[in-house]
Structure 1
């Protein structure tokens, strides 16, 4: 009888010791139901992006205030810090983030870091091509040809809002004054501006809108005639008028072709040199009869009608 009691006592003692050992070691490396952590993105678009500053913070800071916390980010990087940390992923992908507390508790969480398209246009700064002076009710052309741009926002300073969404637009001012044209695009960080003066018409009811193409054509005709009339020694007149045509009407990195009398083709520079250094100049000269263009900016072809006259 005494042996049975001794045996039962021994068994009971073993069970008690086992329970104590389990109570001590069982929580190690286990998950805690009330333990969790939150992730916040810097730009608040609810997406975790590569290169973005991400904030990882424990949900209940009071429960583990003095605990040792190890943050593992699933790519070999880790940070030992309490409560919250900041981290940037250099590459997109899926990662297992694990928070370990006092080497006893851990909370794993999978996250998906997405890639961000950071490609930009080669030249994302747009340039506005437009006249600096116009008239009320005149159809004015505004153009930008910067590569890589898909969306344009034009504000012409008269309505107080966005007026057009194309790369080339025609706008008519209703009132005279000085205006600032604003252009913003999907590829430019800052807007670009262009100042324009709008002059009144003396009789806006009966006067037809000014023909911008004819104004440009007449201006080019005047410049070409000045080059033709200037003496060979007058290089200032030659370069002044040539540079005016280049600056006002020629596109950068694109040729302007001069078609003479419908059949002779030449580039702008060669044509102007021929006008200025005409063989036998002094006894004869070239008369520019007519100039025709099909646009007012970025002109690629100019039709010239001319003939040689003797003095």
Structure 2
């Protein structure tokens, strides 16, 4: 009787072990399946797709984007009977005006729809035929800048480059280089294969040269040898003859002279301009206080901390309410004495000390 009892216990123990093992295996399989499904899970409530178009016109290349996390397959229907597309980023053209329903199915079950209206605006340029200029955003006066480009057709045989300083074609090489002579924003244009309707452009901001010593200072340091005695440069004694220029200016009506002078912006030094910027930072001045110096153009380019270009209006917003420390500063002006941009290197004070903005 005792032997049978031990056998029963042994069989029951083996059965219990098998049940536990089976349970563990099932649990592991469930975890694997759940993990696999979780990785492929798409939140349909928050997923969306984006349409990028300039005019929504017949013949225009329109872009469709979807960046849904965990999405692995896509099926686009553009509502015009064209073949379906199966990528997350696709391009499409409509050949007829009308209202179309775009449908996107993500991972086979998440359905999204949008309607767009396509109009006939006449001839639309095929943007894939526009060359793309490749060049640095910022350069300096006198620095050699190399230019290249991307073009989406196979054959190119002529190139017309204009670098925004002469108003003419400056170079006809495929990959030219150029040294800018004056600071400020420059519009570089390129026409490939003589197709003027596909002319493309890119704005480059040119910084002034680094500050050098004046010629007079260099001569004093190096020692200047006069070609004749200094006394020979002195004016002879006696009554000076009247200056012809003064005589001409006296004949100009006062109002006319004042109007001519008023065309020029008032002068301001770099130190004075820096002081005004500090006052913007501590909120005692606004961008409007600079209007007469920048001739009312709040979109002049500001090159900050070496490689970032923003508008003056945006720059004022960035420094407002902050404590700033200006390390270097250079102004550029046009022929009417209007400030048309400046280069600045500065830091702002934060919780851990001074850092670049």
Larger RCO (alpha carbons 8 Å, 6+ apart): 1
Greater per-residue helix proportion:
2
Give the TM-score of the pair, scaled to structure 1.
0.33
Give the TM-score of the pair, scaled to structure 2.
0.30
Greater gyration radius: 1
